[in-house]
Amino acid sequence: MNLIPRPTTGRGALLELVLIVALAIGLALLIQAFVVKPYQIPSPSMEPTLDVGQRVLVNRVIYHVRDPEIGDVIVFHPPAGAENGQECGIQQDPREACPEPTSDKSDTNFIKRIVAEPGDTLSIENGHPVVNGVPAKEDFIRPCRGGSGCNLPEEITIPPDHYFMMGDNRGSSDDSRFWGPVPRDWIIGEAFFTYWPPDRIGTL
């Protein structure tokens, strides 16, 4: 049986259009709040992978399905104090990375790369993480050329449910070397796609 559309008045058609637009906006807001959200890169700490002003999409549900992994580029809340400079949760040995963050999380968002997981031992050699005694092979980073975070030979152990983050611009990144590993609960999601500028469109 064929259904014949019911004629609508001008007022009815306008109401229908308003409802469709409202539904579309509501759906977009829900997707942004719970599924995928755009972020803009605020600093050069992830160069050359991500430049200042570049925009990425972040999957907010992926870590409900699987655990974060080394190599993931993630958006997260850093420990309180990280946004104002280098602040470790405890007094650290100057030859080691910060082993423990402050107890409160910041309201700001950072984007970095996971380089060590819960239970891993970690030291830093020429800007590269040495995880469980094995130096990471990272041909994508901008080398560390001096500075307090380039060589931290004393090993630390990443606490349970914490992840150690580093920016790809190793000589110009304020990261877990200075304010400690990040609890899993403070991770917002994984950056998986860059959509602006047009010449940088692609997956991460």
Which active-site residues does the annotation give?
Answer: 45, 112
8-state DSSP, 20: H
- 3-state SS, residue 157: strand
Could you tell me the two tokens for 129?
């993480």
Contacts of 66 (CB under 8 A, 6+ apart): none
Could you tell me the two tokens for 147?
């500075």
8-state DSSP, 163: E
Residue whose structure tokens are 């996971």: 114
